[in-house]
């Protein structure tokens, strides 16, 4: 920057047709349409021109430009969103698509994309139906709620609830709950966007019921509780539960008419949908407990602890949920048929909790005993040893901890077994990068103390075990070739 551009360089930029005649382009074969090649070559030349105008001296060699053009075309042809193997041990991994769908959910999605569907068609009445009908009764029977609506994600659910019930009114929230949740969800920003007037109460570590009480004015529409997800305060802390807020709201609402009652809304985030035992015991409460304690509305994600597709589910009374359904935002944030199919099928598995634990991958991984994980880790270690000589690496099975991820259960250590690779040749960084960038199906591992760890808890099945073993074997082959 700041240098004077050398305008004579512009004349040295090659013609598009010249570029397309280079051998590296011909090697792409005739399957690539001509106009795609032209566009790619133009784009590459354009970046060279821009850099000349910025005062730089880029490489203007035609073969260099042709190679970059070819790479552009190859990159465009390769899917960007694709499957990976998760050997990281983070079960609800937000960067890796959070929950893996159950087989029943995959089958349901396949069925509705096979042709037309009953998305908004009621078989019984042979007339128009509602897309809410596919999940609402299931959600209600599983949580004890009177009504439910599902939208694009839980962030959308929060937005919808605040917009409908707190826009231009006050919503009271504890300073301890003004959190940011991974992936750019900040409670104050969402409140601002939905035009709710945020009234902060208490302090970062302590909020008491009289803090709420003092903050409630005639303009107050809502007491909002947000689950702090992946953030925890330890020690000298205090917060106010739903039951206490209910008592307070009852007191305030005595003096209000039916349409202006203060509502209690809890954003549960990961939402332990039903209490399935030991793992969920780490959560403060389930969705139905929040309702039972007096929350008017509760919302949670579909793809965190529930283990379904991306969605945000709001439960509450019929009157309140009907208002949400009629809000124009509900149309903006509505679910598509693939998501609805996956959601309905996932919910159906919860009718029998044992079936849910066995068949919903997120639940299965959370609940799988460490001994079962160990036998999978041992099989992986055997498969790796079979193709990686002992003087390349030492392969051990060692105890470690997996994480729930997705902001769920941050304090919960889930005992696991990992395959640990100690490098005699090569190194952990090189191997980790190779597994992601040079394998047909990228493999995500983690590094600890110069060793690569493959957590068997999040490796789904024997096929994936084979993929991981193969990737690691390829890595050692590749570095042998280098020398």
Ligand X SMILES: *Cc1c(COP(=O)(O)O)cnc(C)c1O
**Contact positions vs ligand X (CB under 6 A):** 153-155, 181, 185, 226-227, 229, 267, 269-270, 301, 312, 407
Crossing angle of helices 318-326 and 154-166, rounded to 10°:
100
Crossing angle of helices 462-482 and 370-387, rounded to 10°:
40
Minimum CB separation of residue 369 from ligand X in Å reads 27
Closer CB to ligand X, residue 312 or residue 426? 312
Closer CB to ligand X, residue 160 or residue 201? 160
Strands 312-316 and 147-151: what pairing?
A: antiparallel
Minimum CB separation of residue 312 from ligand X in Å reads 5
Contact between 455 and 88 under an 8 Å Cβ cutoff? The reply is yes
Closer CB to ligand X, residue 155 or residue 397? 155
Contacts 24+ apart (CB under 8 A), 318-324: 318/146, 318/147, 320/147, 320/165, 320/263, 320/296, 321/146, 321/147, 321/148, 321/149, 322/147, 323/164, 323/165, 324/149, 324/160, 324/161, 324/164
Those residues with Cβ within 8 angstroms of residue 328's Cβ, 6 or more apart along the chain or in another chain: none
Closer CB to ligand X, residue 181 or residue 428? 181
Minimum CB separation of residue 461 from ligand X in Å reads 27
Closer CB to ligand X, residue 89 or residue 312? 312
First to last CA, the chain: 41
Minimum CB separation of residue 372 from ligand X in Å reads 28
Minimum CB separation of residue 229 from ligand X in Å reads 4
Minimum CB separation of residue 199 from ligand X in Å reads 19
**Tokens 């280079």 -> residue:** 22
Minimum CB separation of residue 367 from ligand X in Å reads 21
Q: Which residue is nearest to ligand X (CB)?
A: 269
Minimum CB separation of residue 267 from ligand X in Å reads 5
Closer CB to ligand X, residue 44 or residue 158? 158
Closer CB to ligand X, residue 292 or residue 410? 410
Minimum CB separation of residue 140 from ligand X in Å reads 20
Closer CB to ligand X, residue 301 or residue 339? 301
Closer CB to ligand X, residue 155 or residue 222? 155
Minimum CB separation of residue 404 from ligand X in Å reads 12
Closer CB to ligand X, residue 267 or residue 368? 267
């Amino acid at each position: 920057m700041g240098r004077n551009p050398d305008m004579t360089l512009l004349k040295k930029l090659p013609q598009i047709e010249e570029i397309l005649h280079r051998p590296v382009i011909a090697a792409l074969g005739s399957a690539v349409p001509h106009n795609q090649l032209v566009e790619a070559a133009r784009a590459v030349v354009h970046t060279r021109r821009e850099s000349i105008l910025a005062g730089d001296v880029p490489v203007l060699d035609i073969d260099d430009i042709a190679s970059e053009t070819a790479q552009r075309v190859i990159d465009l042809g390769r899917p960007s969103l694709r499957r990976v193997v998760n050997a990281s041990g983070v079960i609800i991994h937000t960067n890796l698509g959070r929950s893996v769908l159950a087989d029943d959910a995959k089958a349901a999605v396949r069925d509705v994309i096979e042709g037309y569907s009953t998305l908004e068609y009621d078989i019984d009445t042979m007339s128009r139906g509602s897309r809410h009908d596919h999940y609402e009764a299931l959600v209600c029977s599983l949580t004890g709620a009177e009504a439910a609506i599902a939208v694009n994600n839980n962030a959308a659910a929060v937005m919808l609830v605040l917009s409908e019930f707190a826009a231009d009114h006050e919503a009271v929230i504890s300073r301890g709950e003004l959190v940011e949740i991974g992936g750019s969800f900040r409670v104050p920003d969402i409140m601002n966007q939905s035009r709710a007037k945020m009234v902060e109460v208490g302090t970062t570590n302590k909020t008491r019921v009289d803090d709420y009480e003092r903050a409630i004015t005639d303009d107050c529409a809502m007491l909002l509780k947000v689950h702090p997800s992946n953030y925890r305060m330890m020690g000298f802390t205090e917060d106010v539960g739903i039951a206490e807020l209910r008592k307070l709201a009852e007191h305030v609402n005595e003096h209000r008419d039916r349409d202006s009652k203060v509502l209690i809304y809890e954003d549960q985030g990961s939402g332990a949908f039903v209490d399935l035992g030991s793992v969920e015991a780490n959560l403060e409460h389930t969705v139905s407990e929040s309702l039972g304690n007096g929350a008017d509305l509760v919302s949670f994600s579909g793809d965190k602890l529930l283990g379904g597709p991306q969605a945000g589910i709001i439960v509450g009374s019929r009157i309140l949920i009907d208002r949400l359904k009629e809000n124009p935002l509900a149309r903006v944030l509505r679910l598509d048929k693939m998501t609805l199919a996956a959601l309905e099928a996932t919910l159906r598995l919860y009718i029998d909790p044992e079936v849910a634990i066995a068949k919903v991958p997120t639940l299965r991984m959370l609940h799988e005993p460490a001994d079962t994980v160990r036998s999978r880790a041992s099989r992986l270690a055997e498969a790796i040893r079979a193709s990686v000589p002992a003087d390349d690496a030492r392969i051990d099975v060692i105890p470690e901890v997996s994480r729930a991820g997705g902001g769920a259960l941050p304090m919960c250590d889930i005992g696991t077994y990992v395959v640990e690779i100690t490098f005699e040749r090569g190194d952990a960084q090189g191997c980790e990068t190779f597994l992601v960038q040079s394998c047909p199906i990228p493999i995500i591992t983690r590094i600890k103390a110069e060793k690569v760890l493959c957590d068997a808890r999040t490796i789904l099945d024997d096929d994936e075990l084979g993929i991981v073993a193969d990737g690691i074997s390829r890595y050692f082959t590749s570095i042998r070739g280098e020398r």
